[in-house]
């Protein structure tokens, strides 16, 4: 595959993909890449999901490792060139780096294209993050200025992305092929090799699902094991345009409360979680090696449990929105960590990932069902009276109770917040004539639907 002219450059491999590397992720999000599927939502148009399947490269380890090393050296070099020369157009990049990628790093024509795609995507991600950081910084500074505070120092400029020798190899539709009997043919520097996929039953079904189009793939090496991450995509159904929205207040104590007064938590979840907390504390005090092992097992159990809870809740909420023909409204938490506005939930750092996971589940399930998700400014949703609009910290009596100091309206604090979220979403819809707020593409690890 090293000979021949460069393939006609169609830009097809630039199809939007999962931006796992770039999307904002809470620091406490467990990085378990061994989960089997994650879903991504891109601009409410294309749903993509990535199936992570164990890969048996038996007998080809050395070849794959060498391909990994060279591929990523090339990608790092391409990234540096495009970064320094500020090339953002993939066609320009292609002409600038293609020849040298092949001659200097020995990549075949197609892998050279893939390395360029990987480098460009990483740069785009870094630039986007940088722009978001700057925007947040400006916003925060404007706030500080209003309060007469000194401006905060600007964020550090971003660095050019680089890839290690064991980073992943990107494959597009021309550089790998799924074969019958769970085999896959992969392009390497030594020509094509055939490796064996080890999918579970559910993964197998997903691979064969005709509704989902198979796109590119990535060979990922983690913890001594190879995985093939296969990307699939599907058109999202059209979003139904509606005025009304169901406001959803997400929290730690009450996992979700909606503006129709339903609380999706129950004592059971809370009891189970506090049991987890107590047991963890006890094990941590012990500190022995076996205690550590138990801790690890337990965190897995807790994660699976919460994931299940999150699936159930998000499903119920989306179903409710579909049936009542309403949008879903959530607080916009973009950049909440950087801005320093720590909401009560984030104090429970340990559980923050579950909280974010529920948001993600809600977002993609809504897209799946054609339900619009509106994000509203979270400022003061918990202190404002949903009845008369009076806003004061004193309105919030305790974690759970709200009583308005002006009109005397009292309700569960989360229900009051959810109502405010619904009101804000309705207002936003009316004022902007129904422009929906784009949901940010975010990574999502998840098994099943």
Closer by beta carbon to Zn ion, 300 or else 389: 389
| Residue selected from 328, 385, 411, 413 as contacting Zn ion according to rule CB under 5 A | 385
Closer by beta carbon to Zn ion, 187 or else 417: 417
Least spacing, CB of residue 386 vs Zn ion, in Å: 8
213-222/191-198 β-pairing = unpaired
Distance CA 304, CA 154 (A): 40
By CB under 5 A, which span of 198-206, 316-324, 379-387, 425-433 interacts with Zn ion?
A: 379-387
3-state secondary structure of 66: helix
Nearest to 190 by CA among 106, 130, 309: 106
Residues 331-370 as x/- pattern, contact with Zn ion by CB under 5 A? ----------------------------------------
Closer by beta carbon to Zn ion, 220 or else 385: 385
Least spacing, CB of residue 399 vs Zn ion, in Å: 19
Least spacing, CB of residue 376 vs Zn ion, in Å: 19
**Which residues, numbered 388-417, are part of the site for Zn ion (CB under 5 A)?**
388, 390, 404, 406-407, 409
Closer by beta carbon to Zn ion, 278 or else 392: 392
Least spacing, CB of residue 409 vs Zn ion, in Å: 5
Least spacing, CB of residue 387 vs Zn ion, in Å: 4
Closer by beta carbon to Zn ion, 40 or else 386: 386
Distance CA 189, CA 175 (A): 11
**Which DSSP helix (H) or strand (E) runs through 217?**
strand 213-222
By CB under 5 A, which span of 71-79, 105-113, 134-142, 386-394 interacts with Zn ion?
A: 386-394
**Which DSSP helix (H) or strand (E) runs through 28?**
none
Count residues near Zn ion (CB under 5 A).
8
Least spacing, CB of residue 389 vs Zn ion, in Å: 7
Distance CA 290, CA 136 (A): 44
Residue 188, strand partner residues: 191
Closer by beta carbon to Zn ion, 230 or else 385: 385
By CB under 5 A, which span of 33-41, 264-272, 306-314, 385-393 interacts with Zn ion?
A: 385-393
Closer by beta carbon to Zn ion, 136 or else 412: 412
11 phi and psi angles, rounded to 5 deg: 75, 10
Q: Is 112 exposed, middle or buried, given 0-12, 13-18 or 19+ CB atoms closer than 10 A?
A: buried
Residue with tokens 């004061």: 392
State the DSSP string of 379-410. Answer: TTTTTB-TTT--B-GGGB-SSSEEE-TTT--E
**CB–CB of 271/305 below 8 Å?**
no
Least spacing, CB of residue 416 vs Zn ion, in Å: 10
Closer by beta carbon to Zn ion, 179 or else 388: 388
Distance CA 75, CA 105 (A): 10
Nearest to 409 by CA among 384, 373, 427, 434: 384
- Chain residues that interact with Zn ion, rule: CB under 5 A: 385, 387-388, 390, 404, 406-407, 409
């Amino acid at each position: 595959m090293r000979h021949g002219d460069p393939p006609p450059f169609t830009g097809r491999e630039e199809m939007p993909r999962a931006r796992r590397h770039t999307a904002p992720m809470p620091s406490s999000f467990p990085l378990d890449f061994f989960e089997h599927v994650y879903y991504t939502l891109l601009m409410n148009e294309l749903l993509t999901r990535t199936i992570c399947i164990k890969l048996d490269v038996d007998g080809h380890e050395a070849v794959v490792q060498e391909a990994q090393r060279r591929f990523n050296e090339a990608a790092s070099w391409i990234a540096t060139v495009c970064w320094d020369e500020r090339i953002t157009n993939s066609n320009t990049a292609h002409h600038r780096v293609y020849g040298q990628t092949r001659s200097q790093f020995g990549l075949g024509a197609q892998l050279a294209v893939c390395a360029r795609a990987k480098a460009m995507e990483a740069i785009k991600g870094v630039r986007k993050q940088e722009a978001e950081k700057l925007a947040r910084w400006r916003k925060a500074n404007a706030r500080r200025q209003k309060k007469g505070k000194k401006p905060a120092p600007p964020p550090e400029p971003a660095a050019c992305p680089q890839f290690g020798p064991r980073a992943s190899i990107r494959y597009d539709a021309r550089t790998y092929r799924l074969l019958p009997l769970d085999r896959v043919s992969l392009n390497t520097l030594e020509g094509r090799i055939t490796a064996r996929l080890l999918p579970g039953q559910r993964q197998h079904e997903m691979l064969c699902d005709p509704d989902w189009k198979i796109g590119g793939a990535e060979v990922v090496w983690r913890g001594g094991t190879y995985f093939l991450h296969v990307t699939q995509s599907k058109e999202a159904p059209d979003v139904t345009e509606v005025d009304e929205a169901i406001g959803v207040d997400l929290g730690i104590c009450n996992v979700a409360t909606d503006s129709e007064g339903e609380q999706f938590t129950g004592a059971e979840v809370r009891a189970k979680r506090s049991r987890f907390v107590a047991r963890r504390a006890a094990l941590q005090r012990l500190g022995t090696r076996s205690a550590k092992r138990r801790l690890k097992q337990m965190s897995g159990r807790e994660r699976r449990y919460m994931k299940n809870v999150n699936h159930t809740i998000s499903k119920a909420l989306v179903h409710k929105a579909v049936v009542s023909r309403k949008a879903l409204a959530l607080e916009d938490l973009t950049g909440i960590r950087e801005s320093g506005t720590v909401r009560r939930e984030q104090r429970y750092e340990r559980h923050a990932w579950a909280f974010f996971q529920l948001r993600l589940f809600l977002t993609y399930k809504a897209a799946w069902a054609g339900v619009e998700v509106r994000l509203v400014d979270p400022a003061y949703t918990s202190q404002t009276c949903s009845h008369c609009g009076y806003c004061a910290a004193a309105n919030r009596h305790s974690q759970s109770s709200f009583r308005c100091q002006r009109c005397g309206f009292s309700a569960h604090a989360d229900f009051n917040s959810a109502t405010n979220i619904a009101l804000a979403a309705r207002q936003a819809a009316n004022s902007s004539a129904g422009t929906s707020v784009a949901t940010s593409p975010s990574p999502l690890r998840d098994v099943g639907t």
